[in-house]
Amino acid sequence: MSLETNEATPDLMAGVRRNASVYIYEAPVRLWHWVNAACVVILALTGYVMGNPPISLHGEASDSFVFGFIRAIHFSAAYVFAIFFFFRVYWAFVGNKYARQIFVLPVWQKSFWVEVRIELEWYLFLRKYPKKYMGHNPMAHIIMFFLTTLLSLFMIFTGFALYSQGTGNESWQAAVFQWVFLIFPNSQDVHMIHRMGMWLFIVYSIAHIYAALREDIMSRQSMLSTMISGRRMFKDDLP
């Protein structure tokens, strides 16, 4: 739902007062967002170290377990990441319409692609005025679908497939995820693409933070506070 704002059309949306707040993101969605963000940071930091392990310490090996702790933190964060992701999938079915947005792309709607073009022009500073959206704008919608939903699934599948090599062929992790090695028989290839996914998450996170801050300032609608309170604020009449 959107309406372009300019000098001739000062009102934001029908039925929404100027400077009003609208409840968009329910508490479970906000909880998932922040837990997911924390997990991505922990997984990226520990994953990077696991790919570039520290120098072995001098002395008796039983006196230190640094790398083991790093792996334990990584695996624990991975479980939390996966559990909350599938909880997020569940909430897409029971939550409001905005809870389902990142799981479905309305590619069959011509208006969607028109607004994607408009948003691209806005991000490239080719438009003077933005459009207003209750949920994600179409450009963010596409990025969230591919780099949150699909990338999360990819990292879960490849990560637990690698984890199953340690838990053994009789483990549930092997029973559920070893099909990954049917696609990539060389486990080193799985390590490589899993690590590439980590870097993609890092780049996406930086761009996500930039876009949120930019929209909060330039589009005159709340972004950061919305993921805390759940309410979107439209601020066109503020100085």
pTM: 0.86
Q: Please, are residues 151 and 201 in contact by the beta-carbon 8 Å criterion?
A: yes
- pLDDT reading at 68 higher than 90: no
Question: Quick one: pLDDT band at residue 230, thresholds 50, 70, 90?
Answer: very high
Domains of the chain, residue spans: 28-233
- Nearest CA to 25 out of 120, 124, 115, 95 is that of 95
Q: Please, are residues 3 and 131 in contact by the beta-carbon 8 Å criterion?
A: yes
- pLDDT reading at 101 higher than 90: yes
pLDDT for 180: 96
Exposed / middle / buried, residue 37 (Cβ in 10 Å: 0-12, 13-18, 19+): middle
Average pLDDT over residues 41-62: 82
**Rounded CA Rg of the chain:** 21
pLDDT for 129: 83
pLDDT for 239: 41
Domain 28-233: give its CATH code.
1.20.950.20
Question: Quick one: pLDDT band at residue 5, thresholds 50, 70, 90?
Answer: very low
Q: Please, are residues 196 and 208 in contact by the beta-carbon 8 Å criterion?
A: no
